[in-house]
Chains A and B, each alone.
Chain A
Amino acid sequence: MKFIIRIISIACLSLPLAHSAEPAVGSALPSLSGLLPGGTLPKTSGKVVLVDFWASWCAPCKASFVTMAKLHQKYAAKGLVIIGIGVDDEPKDYAAFVANHKVGFTLVHDAKQSAAGFFNPPTMPSSYLVDRSGKIRHIHKGFKGAKSEAEYIQEIEALLAQ
């Protein structure tokens, strides 16, 4: 009886842990094409990739777009690929935001929030910086203006140099 109770209690307590399979620093970037069916994604093999989760209702996301556009302009030719994943529920909100924010990098709509569900970004915005081998090296939680921009530049330059 004691054994059965132990088994049941361990099973019950381990249930919440079964959900913690989200990407972390050191893990490989999952296939985005599988998570974003229908989205047109650029080639990422051998490139430094910045995957950014944003939403039209998120003010820091809007602020981060200026920095993302700068990073794209400066480093795209050197091998940086930025993929902005919009997680809006409403396609019209996503479309309006994209129309108002012309950026050079790729934007895709995660209409069913499947990519967001898989990555489980801890805040909005959240971004994942991936090295040339496809491994997640840095996770940025939120956007803190010039401080975040400086961090992005430092990390991207280090990864591009590898």
Chain B
Amino acid sequence: MKRVLVCLSVCSLFLLSSCSTQLTRVKPYQRGNLANPLMAGNDPLFTAMSMHVYFSREASFGGGGVGGGGCGCN
């Protein structure tokens, strides 16, 4: 039993230390893609398109507002 515990602890030490050094950490100088404005998710064109699709498809339930008849033309 003791031997199993020792083996487990040694294995876990190995695994944990490997995790700590081999985790992929994005360095500040590697954040070019993350700094792209598209990554912020507030692209006005994309938001406008998404909203249009949403209120057109869900118009029978009022779309993004309270009215609407389902024609998708507003």
Contact = CB atoms under 8 A, between A and B. Distances in A.
Interface of A: 1, 5, 8-9, 12-13, 15-16, 19, 53, 55, 57-58, 87-90, 93, 113, 116-117, 120-124, 126
Contact of B35 (A8, A13, A57): A57
B42 interface: no
The DSSP consensus for interface residues of chain A is loop
A12 to B, nearest CB: 4
Interface residues of B, number: 18
Interface stretch (B22-30, B48-56, B63-71): B22-30
Nearest to A90: B32
A34 B59 CA distance: 64
29 contacts: A1-B6, A5-B9, A5-B10, A8-B13, A8-B14, A9-B10, A12-B14, A12-B16, A15-B17, A15-B20, A15-B21, A16-B17, A53-B29, A55-B29, A55-B32, A57-B31, A57-B32, A57-B35, A57-B36, A87-B29, A88-B32, A90-B32, A113-B30, A120-B27, A121-B28, A123-B28, A124-B28, A124-B29, A124-B31
Interface of B: 6, 9-10, 13-14, 16-17, 20-21, 27-33, 35-36
The DSSP consensus for interface residues of chain B is helix
Contacts of A19: 21
Contacts, number: 50
Nearest to A12: B17
Contacts of A87: 29
A27 B24 CA distance: 27
Nearest to B36: A57
A78 to B, nearest CB: 30
Given A53-B29, A122-B28, 18 more contacts: A5-B9, A5-B10, A8-B14, A9-B13, A12-B16, A12-B17, A15-B20, A15-B21, A19-B21, A55-B35, A87-B29, A89-B33, A113-B30, A116-B27, A121-B28, A124-B28, A124-B29, A124-B31
